[in-house]
Structure 1
């Protein structure tokens, strides 16, 4: 029976140290961590690895429920997958475990709260962008591709596939740039 810790932050500039220390302090022999959004399970390779290797009697430990995900369905799916393997899920803050009958109810409610919190964050973000646009401060995201370079490569005779390979982007991005009015 192993205690396996999982730590997650959403962005590369966020720090995992507090979560990792807490999981070590709780006796987790194995700890996997990643820096990826919790909005969905896409791209969360470390969580997938943990779920794949859980054995009967193991315990998946996270510091807070939102570390497992910000979508109720995703959180409940993680819990279900762990239980299908005979393992349990424990959240440290607040302390909830699926070993007890009430654990499922509490985890479901907490999962709904995490999802609601994500919706609030998105709404505040939209409001902030609208305010910034209103005063002329918001200019949008940074362009990832040099449009003039795409056009120059095309003018030099390269096709969209070759341009995409040279610039490390998709052909669709190249097509869109080439179709833009100058």
Structure 2
């Protein structure tokens, strides 16, 4: 007998999962897994990984909307391929998506393209806003967390890059970057 498994996701801790959870329960999901994590990639999505492990042939994975499952076409297609290989269907409560039908599959592909497009637009707007803030002198970026003087002082004492990184709690690449920048400036 097939089971309905629900998956709910929001991007940030300040967002609420209650509406998605209620919709999935109303759709008949016997299990609902939820998480607060970005949907732009699968890394770090432990609840999605758990539910993917639970699913068996004949089961149905239910989401409220496709963008709750994935924000990139590639991730969405990978998830759909994994589900298909297991004999599992995908349905969306608020959208006409049902991978057990040809029309549902086509609509799924279109929604995936739009979800990725929306993410790209948001990123472009964010970068434009940062550029405008920098031009206005309002935004200066993140404050430096590395003290170049401390790196260079240890380097002058013949301390190796690995040890410098360890002592200062930074990455070796940062140590090398600071040393190279200092040597380049001295060469000019």
- TM-score range (shorter-chain normalised) is 0.7 to 0.9
* C-alpha distance in structure 2 between counterparts of 1:137 and 1:125, whole Å: 15
The separation in 2 between residues aligned to 1:2 and 1:153, in whole angstroms, is 61
The equivalent of 1:115 in structure 2 is 116
Equivalent position of 2:82 in the other structure: 81
Instruction: Tell me the secondary structure at the aligned position of residue 91 of structure 2.
Output: strand
What is the CA-CA distance between 1:164 and the residue it aligns to?
Answer: 3.7
RMSD, matched Cα: 2.6
Instruction: Report Cα offsets for 1:66-109 as digits up to 9, x if no partner.
Output: 11111112112211111110111111222421122211000001
**How many Å apart are 1:119 and its aligned residue?**
1.4
Instruction: Give the unaligned 5+ runs of structure 2.
Output: none
Measure the CA separation in 2 of the matches of 1:61 and 1:116: 23
Change (3 A) 1:119 1:151: same
Q: 2:96 aligned with 1:101, yes or no?
A: no
- Corresponding residue for residue 26 of structure 1: 27
Pick the structure with greater CA Rg: 2
Q: C-alpha offsets along residues 142-180 of structure 1, whole Å, 9 cap, x if unaligned?
A: 444455665676678764334444555432233334444
Rate the CA distance shift 1:112–1:153 in 2: closer, same or farther, 3 A: same
TM-score by length of structure 1 reads: 0.82
SS of residue matched to 2:61: strand
User: Structure 1 pair 126/3, CA: closer, same or farther in 2 (3 Å)?
Assistant: same
Aligned length: 182
1:17 and 2:15 aligned: no
Q: 1:159 to 1:32 in 2, by over 3 A?
A: farther
Taking the aligned partners of 1:152 and 1:34, their CA distance within structure 2 comes to 45
Q: Secondary structure, in 3 states, of the residue corresponding to 1:8?
A: strand
Task: Provide the TM-score with structure 2 as the length reference.
Answer: 0.80
Q: Once structures 1 and 2 are overlaid, which stretch shifts more, 78-87 or 165-174?
A: 165-174
Unaligned segments of structure 1, at least 5 residues: none
State how 1:18-167 maps to structure 2 within 5 Å. 18-145=19-146, 147=148, 159-165=160-166
Are residues 95 and 177 of structure 1, via their aligned partners in 2, closer, same or farther at CA, if it must alter by over 3 Å? same
